[in-house]
Amino acid sequence: MFRAGMWGLAALVTAVALSGCANKGRLAPVDEHSIGGAYGSSRVLPGAENAGKPGYYTVKPGDTLIRIGMDNGQSGRDIARWNKLDNPNLIESGQVLRVAPPAPEVSVARPVASTGAASTATPAASASVAPAALAAPSAAEEAVNFQWPARGNLISGFDETKNKGLDIGGKSGDPVSAAADGRVVYAGAGLRGYGNLIILKHNNTYLTAYAHNQTLLVKEDQVIKRGQKIAEMGNSDADQVKLHFEIRRQGKPVDPAKYLPGN
């Protein structure tokens, strides 16, 4: 019986070792909740207490900070800073992230008590409180004077489900210009399906995105002026040379044709 048990243990160890070799060098998806459940407990993911609250986002499988920032009208770097992420490349499905700027504390003065005999109020005091919600953007914040980012024929128009912007044709190397004044919040090729991408933040309401470029001519955090050349047109992660251009209002794609002058 003892010998049979030893042979069974040896077979189990061998099977585990072979499984480890087969998966060496390949990262498999991990469901942390099921792992925790196997041991009778589950790990509480960061920010879980904020799930469902305004200004917060629950990470889904396949998400990246670039995508989350773009979908919420924010810079991925800002989101990393607001959430004190040591490694912005490591976020977990189910983790809850702040995706709106932390509301600054404001000092609110309580009214001074009257000196009348009937008054029982205490003397004035001040308290620091955080606003319950972010104020809606003002009309001035929303006003952006957009221009066309490239010259060329319109290949594809806006479609909420199939095409979240406009596709503008051209030749490899044609100039791509900033549609309005703004700041570069992303420049790179880390967002699948967009190739070499630039994202500009214009204010608290609007972002613009410029995809499939051949060459990027700006860096993150650089301040850009309307009409400034920021890239050269290309076909990175695309089937032809074109500029894919998006305007996002508070993270939601809108039809750029409604914001651009007649071409």
Tens of pLDDT, residues 66-93: 999 999 999 999 999 999 998 888 999 9
In this prediction, what percent of the chain has a pLDDT beyond 70?
A: 69
Burial of 236 (0-12, 13-18, 19+ CB in 10 A): middle
CATH 2.70.70.10 domain residues, the chain: 144-258
Residue with tokens 């404001």: 106
Residue with tokens 């006003």: 143
Chain Cα centroid distance, residue 54: 15
* Distance separating alpha carbons of residues 129 and 6, to the nearest angstrom: 66
| pLDDT at 161 (0 to 100) | 87
CATH 3.10.350.10 domain residues, the chain: 45-98
CATH number of the structural domain 144-258? 2.70.70.10
pLDDT tens digits, 174-230: 999 999 999 999 999 999 999 999 999 999 999 999 999 999 999 999 999 999 999
* Distance separating alpha carbons of residues 107 and 109, to the nearest angstrom: 7
CATH number of the structural domain 45-98? 3.10.350.10
> Taking the complete model, does pTM exceed 0.85, yes or no?
no
State the pLDDT confidence band at 121, using cuts at 50, 70 and 90.
Answer: very low
Contact (Cβ atoms closer than 8 angstroms) between residue 145 and residue 180: yes
User: Pairing mode, if any, of strands 106-109 and 126-129?
Assistant: antiparallel
